[in-house]
Structure 1
Amino acid sequence: MDLPHLGDAPRRYPDFCLSISARLIRTLTDVLTSACSGREENLVISVGSGSGLLEAHMQSLWSSSPGCNLTIEGVEVRTAGQARPVNRYLSEEHYTTVRGTFEVSPRAREASALMFVYPREPVLIQRYLQAAREDEDSPLRTVVWLGPKADWDTFDECLQGVPGFGSVEIPGDCGVVEYEMMAVLTRLPLS
């Protein structure tokens, strides 16, 4: 499916929760590039990618940027039997499914970054962070949360005080509408 053109002003799309813009794609690219520097390849896992609209725009920019070492995969809950798949924009190689919100994608073990867009429950983020903590060799460097400001108090707690990570940063003017926000958690440098 063809990607809709993005301008700098955030816009809502009927098949995606988050408002998105070209500025948001650039901001995410900057955040992920700086957090994941020093590695040859960096996999970004977007948990709950839905239609894949945001992720497809990110992959489109990254694949056309010489020297960019980021790639993204969307993860979504499998649809039942005859139901139409939720993903509409990501190619098959950039999309995986899990059995339910209780399951952590096995691909997360290889992720340099995790991205959560409008997650429903903090426990999902906690499961992914716990899996990374249990893996001594985890390449995880950053976690990005995107959602409504009204939900932030519910999710803030699960991103605070994560062992090995710094304080949560909230970038301003990141390319979403005024009632949405981005939060970024970055791993501290190894001493």
Structure 2
Amino acid sequence: MPLPHLTPLPARHPASCASLSLSLLSLLDRVLPAPPSLTLSIGSGPGLLEALFLNAYPARAAIGPIISLYGVEVASSTTVNRFLPERNALEVAGTWAVAREAEEARGLMFVYPRQKGLIQTYLHKGTGVSVVVWIGPRCDVEEMTEPLRNWGVEDGDICGEGLVEDGEAVLVFRKSDGIQT
């Protein structure tokens, strides 16, 4: 499927929970670990955000056989992923399941997660993770980012100003033991 054209201002797209913008993609490129380090995008759905990110920053798509970004989504009887190249897509058995690649991930991105327990499990399994990006509704910030606040330190005041639409937030957390990407 063709990718939509983004602008610096956030806009809604039918295939994405989060509003999308060039500014959001730029932030992700700045804060997520550089290739060849692995980042997992949990809750990728049809893969639009991830496909736009890889399209804007093609060096993140792959370095030879090494994949540096996977979109992770729950397996379904119908294909959920419509935008992300298959080599960048992972499926898990259920909303509770963690991709085995979490053990080698250095970055995590949660897009509209529904269970804070899943965030906790990814942080537990991903012992090498040094940065996490959380994107979701502002009304969920306190509850859903509790595990992230226990794990690390919020990096500045990135709350979606100009990155996503009103009512949404983008937060960046770094591991509190001083590990930087």
Question: Which band: TM-score by shorter chain?
Answer: 0.7 to 0.9
Give the drift of 1:98.
0.4
Cα separation, 1, equivalents of 2:122 and 2:59 = 30
Give the alignment of 1:176-191 within 5 angstroms: 176-187=164-175, 188-189=177-178
Higher-Rg member (1/2): 1
| 8 Å Cα contact 1:20/1:176 also seen in 2 | yes
Residue of structure 1 equivalent to 2:88: 94
Superimposed CA distance per residue, residues 141-188 of structure 1 (whole angstroms, 9 cap, x where no aligned partner)? 1011000101112113111121xx334643142510011011111123
Change (3 A) 1:64 1:44: closer
Q: Normalising by structure 1, what TM-score?
A: 0.83
Q: Is the 8 Å Cα contact of residues 174 and 182 (structure 1) preserved in structure 2? A: no
SS class of match (1:55): helix
Give yes or no for contact 1:159–1:168 (8 Å, CA) kept in 2: no
Q: Distance in 1 between matches of 2:72 and 2:42?
A: 5
1:118 aligns with 2:112: yes
The answer to whether the 8 Å contact 2:109/2:132 transfers is: yes
Counterpart of 2:178, as a letter, is P
Aligned twin of 2:153 = 166
| Structure 1 unpaired stretches of 5+ | none
Which SS does the other structure have where 2:122 is aligned? Answer: helix
1:175 aligned residue: 163
SS in 2 for 1:76: strand
Q: How many residues align?
A: 173
For the 8 Å contact 1:62–1:71, the answer to whether it is kept is: no
Identity over the aligned pairs, expressed in percent? 37
Separation in structure 1 between the aligned mates of residue 20 and residue 174 of structure 2, nearest angstrom: 22
Instruction: Report deviation, 1:58.
Output: 0.9
Q: What stretches of structure 2 of length at least 5 have no aligned partner?
A: none
